[in-house]
Amino acid sequence: MQVTTEVVGDAVHEVSLRDDATYADLLAELGYSPHEVAVLVDGSPVPEDGTVTGDRVRVLRLIKGGGA
């Protein structure tokens, strides 16, 4: 399956995945950890262990602040 993945503020990637791939598999293909991003489908977050069902996904990188 081909999935168009927009990394918000960065780029759009075309990713090839097997049919039973999870969102964690998609993130691994992009080089992201599920702990550093949120995956959105139709504007709603999806769990990393959920099976990829759509052909368009948005990845929102989470921002971490430094301590004082």
Is 63 a residue whose pLDDT tops 80? no
Q: What is the pLDDT of residues 5-51, one digit of tens each?
A: 999 999 999 999 999 999 999 999 999 999 999 999 999 999 999 99
- Interstrand relation of 56-61 and 44-45 (parallel, antiparallel or unpaired): unpaired
Residues 29, 35, 64: CA angle, nearest 5 degrees:
120
Instruction: Identify the CATH assignment for 2-61 out of 3.10.20.30, 3.40.640.10, 3.30.70.141, 1.10.1060.10.
Output: 3.10.20.30
Phi first, then psi, for residue 42 (nearest 5°) are 55, 35
Three-class SS state of 63: coil
Is 64 a residue whose pLDDT tops 80? no
SS3 content of the chain, % helix, strand, coil (to 5): 10, 40, 50
Domain ranges of the chain: 2-61
For the residues 45-59, what does the mean pLDDT come to? 95
